[in-house]
């Protein structure tokens, strides 16, 4: 019984120390992450309000942002496709994804070749990141056909980015085209100078 009492007292002391440590470390974190701001001195009766944006808070980019006022009724669409690296895929899902890729590439290439509007979403995943790219095949205001790639970036750190491609061709993957398997035919999107900007 005596031994039990000592253990119980030790437990209570440990618990008390743990509870006391929480505000201490919270206070310490606040001091370390504090941002010092020199507010300008102004002779005025109007108060100055300083608003700081938290760099860890990101604006959520919506599908409407990515579509950017396009009338999708004018576009042929296709179900989304991926790079097949979803960590949750079992063997059957992986094989099904791999089987769909050539059909999806043909859909994109045929629309490019025939100068027909198309819209499709490419979903990519990595070991610790994921995102998607909205692909539009369309003419510009002068009637020149292009392929637009619009992305919100990684789902965790969003930033709207757009690339414009003026040529699309099949290319055979080499050792440098990771994560594609060597020898795989894929679509290479190139800018107006012929530089590859993306491939899928």
Between residues 3 and 198, which one has the greater pLDDT?
198
CB-based contacts of 183, cutoff 8 Å, min separation 6? 172, 173
148 touches 119 (CB < 8 A):
no
C-alpha 28 chain-centroid distance: 33
Q: How many domains would you assign to the chain? A: 1
117 touches 137 (CB < 8 A):
yes
Token readout for 141 is: 């205001």
Mean pLDDT of 108-129: 88
Q: Which of 33-47, 84-98, 122-136 has the lowest mean pLDDT?
A: 33-47
- Residue 52 counted as domain residue: no
SS3 80: coil
Dist CA 181 CA 179 (whole Å): 6
- Residue 191 counted as domain residue: yes
- Residue 55 counted as domain residue: no
- Residue 51 counted as domain residue: no
Tell me the DSSP string of 12-35. Answer: HHHHHHHHHHHHHHHHHHHHHT--
The enclosing H or E element of 107 equals: helix 91-113
Placement of tokens 């205001």 in the chain: 141
The per-residue pLDDT for 131 is 78
Dist CA 196 CA 173 (whole Å): 13
Q: Which structural domain, as residue segments, surrounds residue 186? A: 63-199
73 exposure class (CB count in 10 Å sphere: 0-12, 13-18, 19+)? exposed
Mean pLDDT of 122-145: 86
The per-residue pLDDT for 72 is 92
Between residues 14 and 160, which one has the greater pLDDT?
160
**Per-residue pLDDT at 4 exceeds 50:** no
pTM: 0.66
Between residues 129 and 32, which one has the greater pLDDT?
129
The per-residue pLDDT for 57 is 46
- Residue 11 counted as domain residue: no
């Amino acid at each position: 019984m005596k031994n039990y009492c000592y253990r119980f007292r030790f437990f209570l002391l440990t618990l008390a120390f743990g509870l006391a440590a929480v505000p201490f470390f919270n206070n310490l974190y606040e001091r370390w992450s504090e941002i010092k701001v020199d507010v300008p001195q102004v002779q005025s009766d109007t108060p100055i309000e300083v608003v700081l944006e938290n760099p860890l808070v990101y604006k959520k980019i919506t599908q409407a942002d990515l579509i950017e006022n396009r009338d999708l009724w004018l576009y042929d669409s296709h179900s989304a496709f991926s790079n097949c690296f979803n960590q949750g895929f079992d063997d059957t899902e992986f094989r099904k994804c791999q089987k769909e890729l050539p059909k999806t590439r043909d859909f994109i290439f045929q629309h490019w070749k025939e100068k027909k509007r198309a819209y499709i979403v490419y979903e990519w995943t990595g070991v610790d990141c994921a995102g998607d790219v909205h692909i539009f095949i369309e003419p510009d205001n002068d009637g020149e056909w292009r392929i637009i790639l619009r992305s919100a970036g990684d789902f965790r750190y969003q930033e709207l980015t757009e690339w414009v491609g003026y040529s699309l061709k099949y290319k055979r993957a080499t050792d440098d085209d990771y994560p594609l398997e060597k020898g795989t035919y894929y679509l290479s999107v190139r800018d107006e100078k012929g530089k590859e900007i993306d491939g899928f």
